[in-house]
Amino acid sequence: MAKNYQEITLALAGICQAAHLVQQLAHQGQCPPEPLSVSLRSVLDLNPASTLAVFGNDEANLRLGLETLIAVLNSSSRQGAGAELTRYTLSMMVLERKLSVNKQAMATLAQRISQLDRQLAHYELESDTIVSAMAGIYVDVISPLGPRIQVTGSPSVLQNSQLQSKVRATLLAGIRAAVLWQQVGGGRLQLMFSRQRLLREAKNLLSRLPLTY
């Protein structure tokens, strides 16, 4: 069956968006609120109607992810910001593969995410309570699968417990996008052999978005 590269690219942009948000949080202690909200909300939809439905049914919600994906695919640097983004992206893919073969972890993950829905009746998505709950899911379910993702940034920023929770919640969103990526036919080999196809698709998706000023 022919692969749908638009779906694959959208899901890959979801992983890259989470990677970029983690990088910004770790270095600056903050990130743009809109893409963060899109990423965090994506964790909640376990039975989406479509790939795009996971990200609020709007390609524009993945603008940051598409831009990051293009940067990652174009990057040959082994150090600096580009290498960091690539490392986060690939690390989330590795963890997703470990998750996918661990039925106990998958069952626990689904159960814990369904509990979030109940909490959302009382708290906002980006409240400390929900973000901490998401971070807890990452620590309890994803981290033990290993290898752990080493997040680098400003030491003073990374010592902040609320920010640590936000980083872990965002990594959970990246894992969610990686699960979606596999479901729509994504795979590591594409990053080696279909880079130009992915790059073209990402640029095409980005070109359709309205300009922002």
Distance CA 184, CA 51 (A): 8
Residue 213: predicted pLDDT: 60
The pLDDT of residue 154: 95
Average pLDDT per block of 10 residues along the chain, 213 residues long: 86 98 98 98 92 97 97 81 92 97 97 94 95 98 95 95 97 98 93 93 95 69
Q: What is the pLDDT of residue 21?
A: 98
121 burial type by CB count under 10 A (0-12 exposed, 13-18 middle, 19+ buried): exposed
The per-residue pLDDT for 107 is 97
Is-contact 22 174, C-beta < 8 A? yes
Would you list the domain boundaries of the chain?
A: 5-143+162-207
What local confidence, expressed as pLDDT, does residue 109 receive?
Answer: 96
pLDDT of residue 199: 96
Predicted pLDDT at 191: 87
pLDDT for residue 6:
96
Pick the CATH number of 5-143+162-207 from 3.40.605.10, 1.10.3890.10, 3.90.1150.10, 3.30.420.40: 1.10.3890.10
Q: What is the pTM of this model?
A: 0.96
Q: What is the pLDDT of residue 46?
A: 84
